[in-house]
Amino acid sequence: MIEKTYECIIIGAGIAGLQAAIQLGRYMHDVLVIDSENGRSNLCRGYHNMLGWPDGVSGQTLRDLGRKQAKSLDIEFMNDLVIGAEKKDKLFLLRTKQGKEFQARTLLLSTGIKDRIPEIKYIEPCLGISIYVCPDCDGYEVKDKHVLLLGSGSTGANLALTLTYWTKNITFINHDAKQLDEALLHKLEQNQIQIINEQIEEIMTENESIFKGVILKNGQRVSGDRGFIAFGGNVVHSELASQLGVERLENKHIVVNPRTKETNVTNVWAAGDVVAHSEQVTIAMADGCQAAIWIHKRLLKEREDS
């Protein structure tokens, strides 16, 4: 049984989804946001490269503020997971894990990606504060510090090399002990990056969130000033896009029109890290806003044509 038909349903209430919801709310459209509260921004304790937040801001703070702002504009929210999507005539039918069904005239996929982070004790309180994921966001935070690159294989090794732009004191903890090719080993050696092939058991911290190093499975303690993670195998949540026939790249990121953010499927838009871009909070915000503007234009045109 269909619960309700909306002008737009946004799947994912991360940074892109919330920015789109706010913009569509200001256009006074009837919008539902469905979110499973299991996104990348739920984990990050601090973004540092954003205008207006010189001391950093957590992903959860941005989510809480964005949700509050969107609700003030009469945007509806539902905590659930969309597991099925199909196009029926001119509408989209969505099915959720809780057994709900909704219809929408337009869709925005802002389902994001999720970093692969092995189960390492005490890592989560440090994320975004003293252990980082993105060098473009937080490379500056490790300037001239001793960095432990917590990673796996070539993904970890290449990020270690990237970080030499900010610091020359780097130790690569190859958590899965994946073999590196000779060329990569030579580059690491050239940059005096030490490699330790051992699993990480837990993070050493001060005041819970300040990284001080790691304890390895063999009992060895390795001290460091800051951490970076690069384990590879991140999950791109574009399964719904695939169900709808949306074009994706080989890495499963969604392809969109650079100007409008609409996909190859009419009335389906995508925004945020699920799209092929630099995976920045500021870009996700811009994506969400731009998609909302064009969703509004489409809804207006459909009103005029009906």
Q: Which two tokens stand for residue 188?
A: 């690491």
pLDDT 10s digits, 207-250 = 999 999 999 999 999 999 999 999 998 999 999 999 999 999 99
> Would the CA dihedral through 275, 286, 132, 240 be positive or negative?
negative
The DSSP element (H or E) to which 82 belongs, if any, is strand 82-88
Q: How confident is the model at residue 277 (pLDDT cuts 50, 70, 90)?
A: confident
Alpha helix positions (H), 58-107: 59-71
Residue 46 pLDDT more than 90?
A: no
Q: What is the mean pLDDT of residues 164-177?
A: 97
Residue percentage of the chain with pLDDT more than 90: 89
The rounded mean pLDDT for the chain is 95
Q: State how far the Cα of 272 lies from the Cα of 49, in Å rounded to an integer.
A: 17
pLDDT 10s digits, 128-153 = 999 999 999 999 999 999 999 999 99
Q: State how far the Cα of 285 lies from the Cα of 292, in Å rounded to an integer.
A: 11
Residue 188 pLDDT more than 90?
A: yes
Instruction: Please identify which residue in the block is written with the tokens 């092995």.
Output: 118
Q: What count of Cα atoms within 13 Å lies in the side-chain half-sphere of residue 145?
A: 20
- Going along the chain from its start, the domains and CATH numbers come out as 5-115+234-305 (3.50.50.60), 124-230 (3.50.50.60)
Q: Considering all CA atoms of the chain, what is the largest pairwise distance in Å, rounded to the nearest integer?
A: 70
Three-state secondary structure call for residue 194 = strand
Q: State how far the Cα of 223 lies from the Cα of 17, in Å rounded to an integer.
A: 39
DSSP at 142: G
pTM of the predicted protein model: 0.93
Q: Which two tokens stand for residue 11?
A: 């799947």
Q: What count of Cα atoms within 13 Å lies in the side-chain half-sphere of residue 262?
A: 13
195 forms beta bridges with: 172
Q: State how far the Cα of 188 lies from the Cα of 150, in Å rounded to an integer.
A: 15
Q: Which of 44, 50, 228 is nearest to 132 (CA)?
A: 228
